[in-house]
Amino acid sequence: MRFTKSIPNMFTLGNLFCGFLSIGFAANGQYKNAAILILIGMMLDSMDGRVARMLKADSELGKELDSLADIVTFGVAPSFLVYYTYFFQFGLLGLIVAGLFPLFGAYRLARFNISTNKSNLNYFIGVPITAAGGILALLTLFGDRIPNIFTTVVFTGLSFLMVSRIRIPSLKEVPLPKYGTIVTLFLGSLLYLIYRGTYGQFPYLIYIATPLYIAYLTYRFVKGKNKKNIE
């Protein structure tokens, strides 16, 4: 029973470790690898909460751990990635600007944690840090085809949108079978482009994480279908 309750936390810690590895890869000039690790972190982050509910293993520890992991993987790691790929040429000013992203992201997470409207499925208040970090990872991944000024504008916009009061539509109410299909196709296309662009030289973690994530989506699809048949 104790092991079952710790499974969701393993996904969260995996997310955190992906963030740490991403920073290391970025520091060593392996920017595509660093971006991919952030995307793997997104896969794990999307699973830990649902796995906790499936196993009835929700805990305050897991919720706090999830926020800490999100700050590293989707706040600190993407800001380092953008700094090493573009902002570094501005010296200290570039480092300071890059540091705004995790600061705003941490504020947004703290505000969410004390919010009384967490259960609202229709919208988020401000852009979630997970989405913002993932967008920056994708922009860096295809950075050779995207103007630097565009990345700078998106980086700045996302920083302020995270702490804004703008209501962002949520996909939580999108039926999982349809959503799972979209995500699976997206991942398949993305992996193909990554493989062609890096000649297969990316973290072997992705060979493990992606099949697991697709298997998870398939399980949710089958489970949702069975529920409809029973009803």
3-15 pLDDT, tens digit per residue, is 666 777 888 888 8
The pLDDT of residue 24 is 92
- Cα separation, 158 vs 163, in Å, equals 9
Percent of the chain with pLDDT over 70: 66
* pLDDT, tens only, 153-205: 999 999 998 988 887 766 554 444 444 445 544 555 565 555 555 555 555 55
What one-character-per-residue DSSP string does 139-177 give? Answer: HHHTGGGS-HHHHHHHHHHHHHHHTS-PEEEPSTTS-HH
Residue in the block written with tokens 């919720």: 63
Question: For 33-47, 49-63, 69-83, 111-125, which range has the lowest pLDDT when averaged over its residues?
Answer: 111-125
Torsional class of 200: left (φ above 0), alpha (ψ -120 to 50), beta (otherwise): left
Please determine, for residue 72, whether its predicted confidence score (pLDDT) is greater than 50: yes
Task: Look at 138 and 169; give whichever has higher pLDDT.
Answer: 138
Q: What pTM, to 2 d.p., does this model score?
A: 0.78
